[in-house]
A and B are shown apart, each in its own frame.
Chain A
């Protein structure tokens, strides 16, 4: 009878130990999940920030290209040949006086 009681005790000990072990694993996994989640979100935020920086750079590059092109076009306007200007004035005079 004593042996049976001891076996029951041992059995209970095994189950208690298992339950403790499981509780610990669950606790650890909870931390692991939180850490994993943080890692995934941190990577996403890093990608987002990288994309923003990249977009900022690309936008600045394109803006610069546009500004250079605009300057060229404006400069071209100030180099309109005198003959064309005269032709424009002549045409305006003809229209006005007709």
Chain B
């Protein structure tokens, strides 16, 4: 009887210990699972933070480098423009010298006037020159020679009103509605893109 009672008591205790162990094991399993889940989640978040950081870093670096490149490009272009400006100024000086030498300048002026006359669709045209050219060529056969060069029957007269120019002429129709600018300034302006390209080729070709 006593032995049976002892066994029953032992069984009760043993059963509770077993159950306690099961509870403990289940809890530990749950905790480990929870830790693993939370760790994975934290690692995912951390990876995202690092990825974002790298993207941000790359962007910051590229921004810095881009700004410097832009600055460098502007400085280089600024200097190039300065050099080109100097060359154009030198060209303008040379044009003034060129216009002073009548033996070179007269044929040029003749051609410029002829081109102007041909370009103006009017039977009678007016040719305007600079004050200096008016003085130099007024009593010469400049217009006759220019007309002869055009091989047209147009009539041309010299305007008494001088124009502001280094050299060349402005040709207008009789009614003044059509005007062709054949001055050196106009030609320089017109040809500037081509001139700058040519000058750049000579100066900056590596």
Contacts and interface: CB of A to CB of B under 8 A. Distances in A.
Contacts of B80: 77
Given A10-B16, A91-B202, A77 B50 contact: no
Interface size range of chain B in the complex = 35 or more
B72 A48 contact: no
Given A3-B5, A44-B45, A63-B64, A14 B17 contact: yes
B106 to A, nearest CB: 13
A36 B79 CA distance: 59
B119 interface: no
Contact of A89 (B9, B69, B91): B91
B148 interface: no
- Chain A interface secondary structure, helix, strand, loop or mixed? helix
Contacts of B28: 25
A8 B58 contact: no
Nearest to A16: B20
Q: Among B9, B60, B68, find the residue whose CB has the most chain A CB atoms closer than 10 A.
A: B68
Interface in A34-60: 36-37, 40-41, 43-45, 47-49, 51-52, 54-56, 58-60
Contact of A33 (B34, B58, B62, B64): B34
Contacts of B199: 88, 91-92
Interface in B14-41: 15-17, 19-20, 23-24, 27-28, 30-31, 34-35, 38-39, 41
Contact of B42 (A11, A41, A51, A95): A41
Contact of B52 (A29, A37, A41, A48): A48
B184 interface: yes
B89 to A, nearest CB: 10
B121 interface: no
- List the 10 closest A-B pairs by CB distance, nearest first: A48-B53, A70-B72, A55-B57, A44-B46, A11-B16, A59-B64, A18-B20, A63-B68, A59-B61, A22-B27
